[in-house]
Structure 1
Amino acid sequence: MALPGAAAGGGRPLRWPRVLLFGDSITQFSFQPGGWGAALADRLVRRCDVVNRGLSGYNSRWAALVLPRLLGDGACAPAAATIFFGANDSALPEENPKQHVPLAEYAANLAAMVRALQAAGVPAARVVLVTPPPLWEPAWEAECAAQGHRLNRRNSTVGEYARACVRVARACGTDVLDLWTLMQKDGEDFATYLSDGLHLSPKGNAFLFSHLWPLIEKKVSALPLLLPYWKEVEETRPELSLLGDGDHQ
């Protein structure tokens, strides 16, 4: 059945702003039930699409190569973005050389990703760098043993990468969420934040979201609700409300 009047033309295109989540498995898994990315998407529904570009197992070297491809031509730059790498970069070179990235290169790769976002129209002020969380070595050592490996990460080493991430954020003018420090603050039992010693538990996901949301909120707070509230749609001629210039309500 043909649509009447203005409805047939569909109105002008309505572009949905995006928040880009770019990271490793901790980002990829963030849309699972109770995940921090899912919580962010729920909080931003009808204001932004939250786009998960988590790449399990990736380090900053590989990420810096693929980010420009993910951003495309910059025609629709993200309203905000997170960069969340380091858990794989900080793997011990003698135990996990494939994922390991030297500390100085890791820092350079983070800076390169911030520049790639800027080139695509995302100012540094709309970017959040997230440090890797602390590593609970007993649980992760058990995971490694189950796969026939020796312990391939150390929490003290992860801390070096977290501090490098903080330094890059300060140099580039981005916000930073220092999970490594926050989860261990005041002798916190951070093991409860981790499901296997490395990845986040439900409690860890909630912790991350609670600290990330204030940083994201200030970047997207000016974005309006997209399309009118249903009670405000013109009843007899809905196309006046839904297809005209009043898309934001």
Structure 2
Amino acid sequence: MSLQYKKFLLFGDSITEFSFNSGMVEDVESFSFGSALTNVYTRKMDIMQRGFSGYNSRWALKILPKILETEANSNIAMGFIFFGANDSCLGGHQRVPLEEFVENITKLVQMMKSSGIKTILIGPGLYDKEKWESIKPDDIAEGRVRSQEEFKKYSDAGEAIAKAENVPFVNLNKAFREQGGDKWQDLMMDGIHFSGKGSLIFYNELLKTIRENYPEYAPENIEYKLPNWSDVKPDGSNIN
């Protein structure tokens, strides 16, 4: 059996960059979706994290070609694209107007598809204005203001892109509303980034999307590399 692993590319902004950082989660359920993905795909697929805090879709267009070029022979089988929380700022240099956001995300999806990558598009979740603005006064003073309404617009745009490009879409905006209920604020650690509870919802929605659209890459359908230790012969002769 070959020990070359196919890769799952996680490409996005700070939510992706912090996907392994359970230390930033304040609640007792310090669940991180990056760690959970690594665990569920262990000895099956490599999780390749390429998250860039504060970045938007405009800047992502500069990065993805470099990632794909660098990893040209690395067998990236599946990948997600997760931007929008920064693009949807109402001011500041992170803002990307909705029309341009649609163009940028469409190009990113097409880049992945042209590289033979099973692509998943993810839209922004929810935004807790009160919590974020209480701990980020400098952002607000400099015009980096966000809103639930803008998050919803950019999520809806992402869903439309996914439909047009025939790729699956993870609708976190909807999932957080439905599963968070009256306590949806508990899903965000600081108003934008996910708490353990929010990260768990994302993880479950992502795996559900993979199982429904790319079942060959569902963790339970990928061959576990090498025999379990209990099945290894004393001389190791059955380790192929």
Q: TM-score, normalised by structure 1?
A: 0.83
Whether 1:129 and 2:121 are equivalent positions in the alignment is yes
Whether 1:42 and 2:39 are equivalent positions in the alignment is yes
SS at structure 2 position matched to 1:79: strand
SS at structure 2 position matched to 1:14: coil
Q: What code does the residue aligned with 1:77 have?
A: N
SS at structure 2 position matched to 1:105: helix
Q: Whole-Å Cα distance in 1 between the matches of residues 78 and 216 of structure 2?
A: 7
**Partner of 1:8 in structure 2?**
none
Structure 1 segments of 4+ aligned residues over 6 angstroms from their partners: none
1:184 CA displacement: 1.4
1:219 CA displacement: 4.4
Q: What code does the residue aligned with 2:90 have?
A: L
Q: Whole-Å Cα distance in 2 between the matches of residues 156 and 165 of structure 1?
A: 14
Deviations, residues 65-102 of structure 1 (Å, cap 9, x unaligned): 21011112632332211111000000013xx1x10001
* Number of matched pairs: 224
**Partner of 1:174 in structure 2?**
167
Whether 1:162 and 2:161 are equivalent positions in the alignment is no
Instruction: Return the index of the structure with the highest Cα Rg.
Output: 1
Provide the aligned C-alpha RMSD in A.
1.9
Q: In the alignment, which of 79, 82, 85 is matched to residue 84 of structure 1?
A: 82
Deviations, residues 173-202 of structure 1 (Å, cap 9, x unaligned): 111111112211385432110011111111
CA contact (8 A) 1:36 1:206 kept: yes
SS at structure 1 position matched to 2:76: coil
Whether 1:138 and 2:130 are equivalent positions in the alignment is yes
Q: Whole-Å Cα distance in 2 between the matches of residues 100 and 151 of structure 1?
A: 8
CA contact (8 A) 2:139 2:145 kept: no
* Aligned-residue identity in percent: 32
**Partner of 1:31 in structure 2?**
20
Shift in alpha-carbon separation, 1:161–1:147, aligned structure 2, 3 A: closer
Q: What code does the residue aligned with 1:35 have?
A: S
CA contact (8 A) 1:234 1:241 kept: yes
Q: Whole-Å Cα distance in 1 between the matches of residues 124 and 232 of structure 2?
A: 46
**Partner of 1:4 in structure 2?**
none
Which aligned pairs between 1:1-249 and structure 2 lie closer than 5 A?
14-33=3-22, 34-72=31-69, 74-93=72-91, 96=92, 98-122=93-117, 126-145=118-137, 149=141, 152-185=145-178, 187-217=181-211, 218-221=215-218, 222-236=221-235, 238=236, 240-242=237-239, 244=240
Shift in alpha-carbon separation, 1:108–1:146, aligned structure 2, 3 A: closer
CA contact (8 A) 2:128 2:191 kept: yes
Q: TM-score, normalised by structure 2?
A: 0.86
Deviations, residues 37-87 of structure 1 (Å, cap 9, x unaligned): 111111111101111101101101111221011112632332211111000
SS at structure 2 position matched to 1:30: coil
1:20 CA displacement: 0.7
Deviations, residues 94-134 of structure 1 (Å, cap 9, x unaligned): xx1x1000101111111111111122221xxx211111111
Shift in alpha-carbon separation, 1:117–1:77, aligned structure 2, 3 A: farther
Q: What code does the residue aligned with 1:130 have?
A: I
Q: Whole-Å Cα distance in 1 between the matches of residues 89 and 216 of structure 2?
A: 33
CA contact (8 A) 2:121 2:162 kept: yes
1:146 CA displacement: 5.4
